[in-house]
Amino acid sequence: MAAAPQKPNQPLIDWMRSAQEVHDLVAASTLPGPGAVTDVFGPRTILWRLGIGGFGGHDTFPGMVELTERSVIVYCGDDKPVEVLLAQPEGQSAGALSASDFLVWLKKRSVA
């Protein structure tokens, strides 16, 4: 399946930015806007809502994805994580996925 073209004014997330900057970009682009896109999960994914994680990581790099027991975390350029709260993977016919549904979706993909 070919990647869907990026919508006009749909920002691409730069994971080299700080967690606060990434969070603010997604917040500014959320519904009814176009959303902010990334490809760190494999297929292009629109992120609609993020939370800012509490502690920075060690041995992390910008764009590093961590699947925890309850959440999906992506590390930013300042070594601080953001937590994915609402995401819509390309080709996902059901629309946006909650944090727990997105975690299940990612875990199924990594096993397949």
**CA of 34: how far to CAs of 11, 28, 52, 84, in Å?**
8, 10, 21, 17
- Establish if 93 belongs to a structural domain: yes
Whose CA is closest to 30, among 48, 46, 14? 48
Q: Which residue has the higher pLDDT, 39 or 4?
A: 39
- Establish if 1 belongs to a structural domain: no
3 band by pLDDT with thresholds 50, 70 and 90: very low
Q: What is the CATH number of the domain that holds 37?
A: 3.10.25.10
| Token couple for 97 | 């996925």
pLDDT for residue 4 is more than 60: no
Domain that residue 53 falls in:
19-111
Question: How much is the pLDDT for 2?
Answer: 38
- Establish if 71 belongs to a structural domain: yes
- Establish if 62 belongs to a structural domain: yes
- Establish if 31 belongs to a structural domain: yes
- Establish if 12 belongs to a structural domain: no
% residues pLDDT > 70 (the chain): 91
Which tens digit of pLDDT belongs to each residue from 19-57?
999 999 999 999 888 999 999 998 899 999 999 987 777
Question: How much is the pLDDT for 6?
Answer: 55
Total domains present in the chain: 1
